[in-house]
């Protein structure tokens, strides 16, 4: 029985299938996540980004007799409820799909419960593969107690269901700030490396054979050429007898150390297409809607990388706790389709109003 839903089951099926069949960009459905998810076909969703309610906060505008996540009397029941919902998500996610799960912790009887990890471990026990634990540094935190530090972070777990999954890493790379440039007729890397020092070390080396010296010098020429052509912005060279391997000299545990032993040199290169973001995200929480509408609205900045990296263009992003609709709105803005589910009729209507403001028309 869908106790909160203000649509009939066949209308829900129709709305979902319209998005799945590419006949509509998005839908927002008001109802209990677990029940609605059961209406979604196997392996039909590319990406899920979501933030369920915290345990024991009771702050959302939903009918009191409904199945509100977070209102469980025992926190272990909260872990069970969420694990069950994410089992269902695993069923509807494509084989190469991803789930980004934002969870915050909770103090109870003066004790930090470790809720995000309790949920994550329970999900891993049920077959999810954890790829990243992103720390969302919200920069400002509440000081509710004088005998401990301020809390400023939440977790965003990136889960997948199989080891090979869709990950468009080039979509989210951070472009290098500085580039290589010509200086007095010579190419110099972004941090001022010209290769002269390495050349001298190769020539004067007593640890390299003549053949190894030739190979090292040729490889250095190629790297300098890549810098000139803009394929690389920076590099470092490690030469046997001159520099030590980056992490360890032990050839059993370090591939670099092995390369140094067999070839006599190796390079660390920084490509012109930049590096991937780190697993610490410094993003201020959204507070525009907070006063009049919702307690934990996703900032758009937080959603962009998960959507770009793990949902192909025109793929489907789902949020089973969609609140004011931020996930679906960002997904649609980025040329993906979206499905939002929330128990609250008020937030569902708000989400529908918000998405209309971005000007996408229905098919
Ligand atoms: C942390 S908020 C999500 C906020 C959302 N990320 C946004 O940007 O607005 C959690 C939401 O879960 C909803 N909720 C609670 N229990 C639910 C259930 N069983 N099924 C669906 N939604 C539920 C609440 O109404 C609330 O809007």
CB 343 within 8 A of CB 4: yes
Query: For residue 69, which atom of ligand 1 is closest to its CA?
Result: 16
Q: What's residue 63's pLDDT?
A: 54
The model carries a pTM of: 0.85
CB 260 within 8 A of CB 246: no
Q: Which residue owns the Cα nearest ligand 1 atom 8?
A: 297
Q: Which residue owns the Cα nearest ligand 1 atom 27?
A: 323
> What is the 50 CA–ligand 1 centroid distance (Å)?
9
Residue 246, pLDDT above cutoff 80:
no
Q: What is the mean pLDDT of the chain?
A: 90
Distance of alpha carbon 214 from the chain centroid: 44
- Other CB atoms within 10 Å distance of the CB of residue 233: 23
> What is the 199 CA–ligand 1 centroid distance (Å)?
61
- Report which of 143, 153, 72 is spatially closest to residue 105, judged by C-alpha positions: 153
Q: What's residue 268's pLDDT?
A: 92
Question: 337-342 and 316-319 as β-strands: parallel, antiparallel, unpaired?
Answer: parallel
CB 69 within 8 A of CB 51: no
> What is the 17 CA–ligand 1 centroid distance (Å)?
22
Report how many helices (DSSP H) and strands (DSSP E) the chain contains, helices first: 10, 14
Query: Which residues are 174's β-sheet partners?
Result: 275
DSSP 280-317: EEE-PPP-TTTTTT-S-PPPHHHHHHHHHHHS-TT-EE
- Report which of 350, 338, 342, 325 is spatially closest to residue 7, judged by C-alpha positions: 342
- The Cα 280–Cα 297 span in angstroms is 19
Summarised one tens digit per residue, pLDDT across range 132-168 is 999 999 988 777 788 999 999 999 999 999 999 999 9
> What is the 343 CA–ligand 1 centroid distance (Å)?
7
More confident residue, 90 or 297: 90
Query: For residue 322, which atom of ligand 1 is closest to its CA?
Result: 5
CB 152 within 8 A of CB 139: yes
Pocket test for ligand 1, best of 29, 61, 69, 339 (most atoms within 8 A of CB): 69
More confident residue, 32 or 62: 32
- The Cα 127–Cα 121 span in angstroms is 10
> What is the 188 CA–ligand 1 centroid distance (Å)?
53
Q: How confident is the model at residue 225 (pLDDT cuts 50, 70, 90)?
A: very high
Q: How confident is the model at residue 286 (pLDDT cuts 50, 70, 90)?
A: confident
- Give one word for 274, left, alpha or beta, with left for phi > 0 and alpha for psi -120 to 50: left
Q: How confident is the model at residue 93 (pLDDT cuts 50, 70, 90)?
A: very high
Pocket test for ligand 1, best of 34, 297, 323, 329 (most atoms within 8 A of CB): 323
Q: How confident is the model at residue 316 (pLDDT cuts 50, 70, 90)?
A: very high
Q: How confident is the model at residue 280 (pLDDT cuts 50, 70, 90)?
A: very high
List domains and CATH numbers for the chain: 9-172+277-357 (3.40.50.150), 181-271 (no CATH)
- Report which of 159, 84, 100, 32 is spatially closest to residue 327, judged by C-alpha positions: 100
- Ligand 1, CB cutoff 6 Å, lining residues: 32-33, 51-53, 60, 62, 67-69, 294, 296-298, 321, 323-324, 326, 341-344, 347
Q: What's residue 2's pLDDT?
A: 44
> What is the 342 CA–ligand 1 centroid distance (Å)?
5
**Torsion sign over Cα 43, 51, 85, 111:** positive
Question: Could you give the count of Cα atoms lying within 13 Å of 150 in the half-sphere of its Cβ?
Answer: 8
DSSP 199-259: HHHHHH-SSS-HHHHHHHHHHHHHHHHHHHTTSEEEEEEEETTTS--SS-S-TTT-HHHHH
> What is the 334 CA–ligand 1 centroid distance (Å)?
22
User: Could you tell me the end-to-end alpha-carbon distance of the chain, in angstroms, rounded to an integer?
Assistant: 30
């Amino acid at each position: 029985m869908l106790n909160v839903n203000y649509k009939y089951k066949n209308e829900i099926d129709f709305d979902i299938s319209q998005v799945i069949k590419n006949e509509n960009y998005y839908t927002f459905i008001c109802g209990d996540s677990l029940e609605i998810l059961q209406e979604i076909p196997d392996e039909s969703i590319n990406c899920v980004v979501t933030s369920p309610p915290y345990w024991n906060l009771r702050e959302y505008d939903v009918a009191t007799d409904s199945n509100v996540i977070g209102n469980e009397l025992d926190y272990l029941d909260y872990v069970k409820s969420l694990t069950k919902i994410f089992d269902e998500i695993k069923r509807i996610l494509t084989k190469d799909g991803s789930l980004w799960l934002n969870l915050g912790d909770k103090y109870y009887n003066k004790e930090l419960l470790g809720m995000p990890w309790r949920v994550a471990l329970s999900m891993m026990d049920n077959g999810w593969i954890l790829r990243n634990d992103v720390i969302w540094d919200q920069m400002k935190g509440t000081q509710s107690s004088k005998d401990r530090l301020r809390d400023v972070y939440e977790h965003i777990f990136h889960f997948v269901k199989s080891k090979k999954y869709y990950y468009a890493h080039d979509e989210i790379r951070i472009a290098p700030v500085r580039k290589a440039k010509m200086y007095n007729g010579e190419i110099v890397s972004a941090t001022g490396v010209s290769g002269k020092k390495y050349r001298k070390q190769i020539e004067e080396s007593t640890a390299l054979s003549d053949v190894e010296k030739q190979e090292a010098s040729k490889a250095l020429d190629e790297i300098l050429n890549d810098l000139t052509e803009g394929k690389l912005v920076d590099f470092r060279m490690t030469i046997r007898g001159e520099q030590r391997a980056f992490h360890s000299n032990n050839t059993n545990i370090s591939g670099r150390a092995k390369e140094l032993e067999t070839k006599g040199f190796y390079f660390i290169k920084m490509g012109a297409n930049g590096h991937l973001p780190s697993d610490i995200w410094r993003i201020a929480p959204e507070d525009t809607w907070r006063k009049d509408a919702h307690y934990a609205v996703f900032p758009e900045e937080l959603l962009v990388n998960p959507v770009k990296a793990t949902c192909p263009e025109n793929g489907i992003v789902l949020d089973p706790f969609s609140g004011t609709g931020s996930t679906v709105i960002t997904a649609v803005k980025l040329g993906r389709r979206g499905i939002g589910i929330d128990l609250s009729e008020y937030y569902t209507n708000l989400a529908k109003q918000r998405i209309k403001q971005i000007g996408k028309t229905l098919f």
